[in-house]
Chain A
Amino acid sequence: MTTYIIRRLLYTIPIVLGVLLLTFVLFTVVGGDVSIEIAGKNATPETIEEIREEYGLNKPLFLSWDSQFINHFKSALTFDFGRARDRELVVDKIKRGVWPSLALTVPMFFGVLIISVSLALVVAFVRGSAWDVFAVVVCVAGMSIPYLSFILLGQYFFAYKLGLFPIFFSPDLSMAEYVALPVLIGIVTGLGANVRFYRTVMLDEIRSDYVRTAFAKGLDARRVLFKHVLKNAMIPIITRVVLAIPFLFLGSLLLERFFGIPGLGYLMIEAIGSRDYFVINAMTYISAILFVIFNVITDICYGLVDPRISFD
């Protein structure tokens, strides 16, 4: 199995290189020379030149050992992402933003997972009945309402009107307090698509031949569902769940923006507003690495759960 892991990890190298190339092309080549923006409106040509020197923007793009691309590459490997527009180290900003983001996404993740798998099981159990149809209708309707509106309405009703939750983040609030409403909203919005997905997975398994055999042995519906169907359904479910983990670190862009939570999502939004390429670049690179690593972990989990997969 170790050879498998090593092989998979080796495969990730070209991907990471690809990401670095992509971010470079995007932010440096297409994005262009940001020195003018950094310098500000009334900068003199000398200041601009200084900035270019400092950021290494006066070096050739590709064709030298000291080219911008090589430097981009080097700094990525050392996780040295430079400074944001406000001169703070990007790495520090990220370190600060991780915890509030996790405080938001982790409860959301577990909430959505437990509730949607349970709901999907229930719905698969009563498949074809009016409850099933109702569930599907609710899911589809939920998926059709724009995420933005959900958040806005949730914030308006439960925080502003009913005063049950604080509207905005403020440093004197405890984590539980300022995270409660966003997490609730996040869970509700996430249920729609997830319940539908898990329901489809369950129904696919229920239609299998081995389910027919299980019933022919005399098993009751509950046991067939929980023992036979669930274990097989676990395979695609685990894949989806493990792959979702890297996204936990990114925080939720919109929720953080609406509620003013100072996490990584908020950081991104700010960076977009101020066109801070360094921050965006750093976030993109980190999330790609996380994603790629968790892909490998997913494959391994998949192999552990499905006895048909062997690692050679």
Chain B
Amino acid sequence: MSENSLALSIQGLGVSFFTEDGIARAVQDVSFSVKKGETFALVGESGCGKSVTALSIMRLIPQPPGKIVSGDIVFDNRSLLELSEKRMRGIRGNKIAMIFQEPMTSLNPVYTVGNQIVEAIRLHQKKSENQAWADAVDMLRKVGISEPEQRVNEYPHQMSGGMRQRVMIAMAVSCQPQLLIADEPTTALDVTIQAQILDLLDDLQKQNGMSILLITHDLAIVAERADNVAVMYASRIVEIAESKQLFQEPLHPYTKGLLKSLPRLGLGREVKRLQTISGTVPDPLHFPAGCKFHPRCSVGCSDKRCQGIEPELREVGNGRHVACWYAQGYETEEEIKEYESKYGKK
């Protein structure tokens, strides 16, 4: 894959938080790539490290207590981690933009919506005050807000949740970024509004050719909108695949569990109870040894290897990656032999 078709490439990223209760390794050895123009979803439960990963790309991790301890992030053929703060500021909001989960608190309550969009425009583009305001009105129109000339002078609290998120999006894409990071953009919104916002993101993507890194815990959104998916669990990536492939043929037990737990209509009398994954997500301060998922895994919870050795993320053919000893095509010949000599046939 040529480098020019990649918008973003994360390699071996590690982020830790040094708290008075101990070191929390929020992100460990995370690697994935986002192609130009595609929508890449990063999926996982709360606390798995996906938001931390996103904030690391923008280098917005609060420096004490957090710290990027390893790895690299390559954007536009440059390592983001090596850039000076000043250059990084030139990228934020300009080449890479981010929208957040809670539009109410993410917008400054004491400034008008227009003011905040204009701020972003004038920061990165050489435009006059009037031009910038005209652009702001334009952006509001583009994101589907009616009567933008009036709305531009309103305050965030005067708008509905869906409208505020549109404003956030307008602010984010005002400088035509190459990559948009959307951290749970629809979680705080009503279901009907969710679809509208996601459609909006789709449209903007087609217009500008921008890549979207979509962070979510909602698999339904992933199925509809994402091209490629990475599944995160307890600070690590456990599976990467094309969206369709992931849903048709999940390789990792966690992914399988997630898909099984989705409520589905119309299955008739066969399915009586929702399936769940037993146990709970581990505390980042006290991760289990070996594979982090093994205590909850139906396959590997009593396997000595799963208990002791953490499986790394490996490519298992045509772009698919997985981190599981029991995944098809994962082990090498030597490893199979070694295992059988130690523990007998599987």
| Contact surface of A with B, Cβ cutoff 8 Å | 128, 208-210, 212-220, 228, 231-232, 305-308
How far is the CB of B169 from the nearest CB of chain A, in Å? 12
B107 at the interface (CB under 8 A from A): yes
B111 at the interface (CB under 8 A from A): yes
Find out whether the CB atom of A218 lies under 8 angstroms from the CB atom of B109.
Answer: no
Docked Cα-Cα span, A96 to B225, in Å, equals: 78
User: Which A residues are in CB contact (< 8 Å) with B89?
Assistant: 218-220
| Residue in contact with B109 in the complex, picked from A128, A220, A232, CB distance below 8 Å | A232
| Residue in contact with A216 in the complex, picked from B64, B97, B105, CB distance below 8 Å | B97
Nearest CB in chain B to that of A307: its residue: B155
Find out whether the CB atom of A307 lies under 8 angstroms from the CB atom of B109.
Answer: yes
Find out whether the CB atom of A218 lies under 8 angstroms from the CB atom of B108.
Answer: no
How far is the CB of A235 from the nearest CB of chain B, in Å? 8
B90 at the interface (CB under 8 A from A): yes
Q: Which residues 143-190 of B sit at the A interface, judged by CB distance below 8 A?
A: 155, 157, 168, 171
Find out whether the CB atom of A308 lies under 8 angstroms from the CB atom of B157.
Answer: yes
Find out whether the CB atom of A218 lies under 8 angstroms from the CB atom of B110.
Answer: no
Find out whether the CB atom of A216 lies under 8 angstroms from the CB atom of B109.
Answer: no
User: Which B residues are in CB contact (< 8 Å) with A306?
Assistant: 109-110
Find out whether the CB atom of B155 lies under 8 angstroms from the CB atom of A216.
Answer: no
7 more contacts with CB within 8 A, not counting A212-B106, A217-B92, are A216-B100, A217-B119, A217-B120, A218-B90, A218-B92, A218-B124, A307-B155
Q: Which residues 179-213 of B sit at the A interface, judged by CB distance below 8 A?
A: none
Docked Cα-Cα span, A215 to B111, in Å, equals: 16
Find out whether the CB atom of A308 lies under 8 angstroms from the CB atom of B109.
Answer: yes
Q: Interface size of B by Cβ–Cβ distance < 8 Å?
A: 29
User: Which A residues are in CB contact (< 8 Å) with B120?
Assistant: 217-218
Find out whether the CB atom of A210 lies under 8 angstroms from the CB atom of B108.
Answer: yes
Nearest CB in chain B to that of A206: its residue: B62
Find out whether the CB atom of A216 lies under 8 angstroms from the CB atom of B108.
Answer: no
| Residue in contact with A232 in the complex, picked from B64, B98, B102, B108, CB distance below 8 Å | B108
Top 7 A-B residue pairs of the complex, sorted by shortest distance between their CB atoms: A217-B93, A218-B92, A218-B93, A209-B105, A210-B108, A209-B106, A216-B98
Find out whether the CB atom of B123 lies under 8 angstroms from the CB atom of A210.
Answer: no
User: Which A residues are in CB contact (< 8 Å) with B58?
Assistant: 216
| Contact surface of B with A, Cβ cutoff 8 Å | 58, 60, 63-64, 89-94, 97-98, 100, 102, 105-111, 119-120, 123-124, 155, 157, 168, 171
| Residue in contact with B106 in the complex, picked from A213, A219, A220, A305, CB distance below 8 Å | A213
Find out whether the CB atom of B109 lies under 8 angstroms from the CB atom of A212.
Answer: no
How far is the CB of A73 from the nearest CB of chain B, in Å? 44
Find out whether the CB atom of B93 lies under 8 angstroms from the CB atom of A216.
Answer: yes
Docked Cα-Cα span, A209 to B111, in Å, equals: 14
Nearest CB in chain A to that of B101: its residue: A209
Q: A210-B105, A307-B155, A308-B157 are in contact. Are A215 and B92 (CB under 8 A)?
A: yes
How far is the CB of B132 from the nearest CB of chain A, in Å? 13
Find out whether the CB atom of A231 lies under 8 angstroms from the CB atom of B110.
Answer: yes
Find out whether the CB atom of B60 lies under 8 angstroms from the CB atom of A215.
Answer: yes
User: Which A residues are in CB contact (< 8 Å) with B93?
Assistant: 216-219
User: Which A residues are in CB contact (< 8 Å) with B123?
Assistant: 217-219
Docked Cα-Cα span, A69 to B39, in Å, equals: 79
| Residue in contact with B100 in the complex, picked from A213, A232, A305, CB distance below 8 Å | A213
Find out whether the CB atom of A214 lies under 8 angstroms from the CB atom of B108.
Answer: yes
Docked Cα-Cα span, A217 to B124, in Å, equals: 9
Docked Cα-Cα span, A307 to B90, in Å, equals: 31
User: Which B residues are in CB contact (< 8 Å) with A220?
Assistant: 89
Find out whether the CB atom of A210 lies under 8 angstroms from the CB atom of B109.
Answer: yes
